[in-house]
Amino acid sequence: MTRPRMENSADEIAASLAHAIHEHRLAPGSKLSEDEVGEIFGVSRTVVRAALQRLSHSRLVELKRNHGAFVAQPSLREAREVFEARALLEPRTARSAAERITQADITILERHIADEHEALDKGLTGRALYLSGQFHVEIARIADQATVAEFITQLVARSSLVIALYWQRRAALCESHAHHALLRALAARDGARAEDLMKEHLVTLMTSLDLRGRNAVPTSLREALRG
């Protein structure tokens, strides 16, 4: 590898992997070999391990002792919990965002929605999914609550894994409508409405998943025969 001496700290590698997971380029259950990742990024296992540990703490990666790192496969229960946690955090955060939003923020959110549409038109569903998540993160940022924003960032990324495992066809359409409506409420500084819309949006998202029972396709063959 003769990359032009990139600043490849553990953070950047973690971010790169997280992005790939978020965009569904890395499927749940995928093995992340330390050697392999290290070779790709041109660093030693030391740095890769740091990155993987970080991702493990965000629950995007599962570390199995003496077995290595794998892209996480949230259980049904965890899937539900992730959305329940979002339901606790995001509606009130949307309300706060409505009270603080600036014109610049509105422009950014409009841009997000436009990019999302564009990605969908081009068939880049992974990218569209990522942007759709970033819309939520952006709202948390606007609310100016860094601590909560961090939690939401993590939950959104985990939601991407949940979607990869428990997505139930169709939808994806209502998505952008919901985001549009949210943006309108935010732009109008209507906190109460933004809160309600966010609550509703999350419920819609959750019901578009199939979190009832046994029908997720396990990506790891071996794992499949153990459960």
Query: Where does this chain bind a copy of itself (CB under 8 A)?
Result: 46, 49-50, 53-54, 57-58, 77-78, 81-82, 84-85, 88-89, 92-93, 145-148, 151, 155
User: Is the CB of 30 or the CB of 145 nearer to DNA?
Assistant: 30
- Binder of DNA out of 213, 222, 225, 227 (CB under 7 A): 222
* Residue 92 touches which of a copy of itself, DNA, none (Cβ within 5-8 Å per kind): a copy of itself
Q: Does 67 bind DNA (CB under 7 A)?
A: yes
State in angstroms the smallest separation of the CB of 160 from DNA. 23
CA distance 7 to 41: 10
* Identity of residue 209: L
With CA atoms as reference, report the closest residue to 3 among 38, 41, 34: 41
Q: Does 5 bind DNA (CB under 7 A)?
A: no
With CA atoms as reference, report the closest residue to 134 among 118, 149, 146: 149
* Residue 78 touches which of a copy of itself, DNA, none (Cβ within 5-8 Å per kind): a copy of itself
CA 171 to chain centre: 17
CA distance 47 to 9: 7
User: Is the CB of 6 or the CB of 203 nearer to DNA?
Assistant: 6
User: Is the CB of 38 or the CB of 74 nearer to DNA?
Assistant: 38
CA distance 15 to 212: 32
With CA atoms as reference, report the closest residue to 98 among 173, 166, 10, 196: 196
What is the contact surface with DNA in residues (CB under 7 A)? 9-10, 31-35, 42-47, 49-50, 63, 65-69, 222
